[in-house]
Amino acid sequence: MKVRRITVVGCGLIGASFALASRRCLPDVRIAGWDSSSMALNRALERGIIDELDEAIAGEQVSASDLIYLAMPVGEIRSFLQKRGAQVAGGAIVTDAGSIKSAVCETALNYLPEDRFFVGGHPVAGSHLTGLEHSRANFLRQGAVCVD
C-alpha cells in the first residue's frame, strides 16, 4: 500500500511530532490534521506541521487519507472510533498513541467497518512539556520502542 495522505487527529506534542517525522520520512505525502481545538489546528498550519485540514472529518464525510493517526487521550480515541469510524476510507489504516490498548482495540473492532485496518500502538515517549510548540521530528525517533 502506498501512503499518499496522512491525517493526524490531535495536533499536540505527540500528533505534531508524528506529523513532522512523517514529513521527514515521506516527503511526498500530504499531511492533513484535525483537532477539536481550532487554535491548535491554526498553529499547526502556520508552522507547516500539517499541509491542510481534513475537512471531510470535520464535515462528517469520508476522509481521503490512507493512514489516520489518533493522538488524543484514550477516551477521545474511543469516542472518535465510535462517532467517526465510518469516515475512515475503505482500505485505510488507523493507528493510535493511546496508553490503554484493550479498550481502544475493542472499540476499533466494534466500530470500524471491516475493510479498515486498525493497528494499536503506543509510542514509549513523553515529556513534561506539552503542545505542538515542543514537537520535533525526532521525538518519536526511528528505532525507539513502540508498543503494539
What pLDDT is recorded for position 35?
92
User: What's 21's domain CATH number?
Assistant: 3.40.50.720
Total count of domains within the chain: 1
Q: What is the per-residue pLDDT across 34-91, written as a single tens digit (0 to 9) for each?
A: 998 899 899 999 999 999 999 998 888 999 999 999 999 999 999 999 999 999 999 9
Three-class HEC string of the chain: CCCCEEEEECCCHHHHHHHHHHHHHCCCCEEEEECCCHHHHHHHHHCCCCCEECHHHHCCCCCCCCEEEECCCHHHHHHHHHHHHHHCCCCCEEEECCCCHHHHHHHHHHHCCCCCEEECCEECCCCCCCCHHHCCCCCCCCCCCEEC
Domain membership of residue 28 as a residue range: 5-147
